[in-house]
């Protein structure tokens, strides 16, 4: 039982490049979310999903896309990376509404 797995752990991108951050969970959780963590700002919700095929925007969705084709996977796509997207990204999953969210180890992204 691996929990929530994020890949890669570190990534450096050039401005304008695109990439996908991977997130997978093996706990059969319906709810999955993506957050970014910036110093002094806590974690901010980017996108979330309440089940396969269902996604919605969080607080800071601009510049990011998501899809949820399976229960296990919830990838986050950066369409055209900008320096403002330099951050640590966390994926989380939970079994149902308002229960414990399990977080991955994070992806540290630097856009130069």
Residue numbers of the site for another protein (CB under 8 A)? 4, 31, 33, 35, 40-45, 48, 50, 56, 58-59, 90, 92, 94, 97-98, 100-106
Taking the complex as a whole, how short is the minimal distance between the CB of residue 79 and another protein, in angstroms? 22
Please identify, using beta-carbon distances, which residue of 34 and 78 lies nearer to another protein.
Answer: 34
d(CA 39, CA 22): 23
Taking the complex as a whole, how short is the minimal distance between the CB of residue 104 and another protein, in angstroms? 6
Taking the complex as a whole, how short is the minimal distance between the CB of residue 42 and another protein, in angstroms? 4
Give exposure, 67-101, as e/b (b: 16+ Cβ within 10 Å): ebeebbebbbebeebeeebbbebbbbbbeeeeeeb
């Amino acid at each position: 039982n691996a929990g929530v797995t994020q890949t890669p752990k570190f990534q450096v991108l050039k401005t304008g490049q695109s990439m996908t951050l991977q997130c997978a969970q093996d706990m059969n959780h319906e709810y999955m979310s993506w957050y970014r963590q910036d110093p002094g700002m806590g974690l901010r919700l980017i996108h979330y999903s309440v089940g396969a095929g269902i996604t919605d925007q969080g607080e800071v969705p601009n510049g990011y896309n998501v899809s949820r084709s399976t229960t296990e996977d919830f990838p986050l796509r950066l369409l055209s990376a900008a320096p403002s997207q330099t951050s640590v990204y966390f994926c989380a999953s939970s079994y149902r509404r308002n229960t414990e969210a399990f977080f991955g180890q994070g992806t540290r992204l630097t856009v130069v």
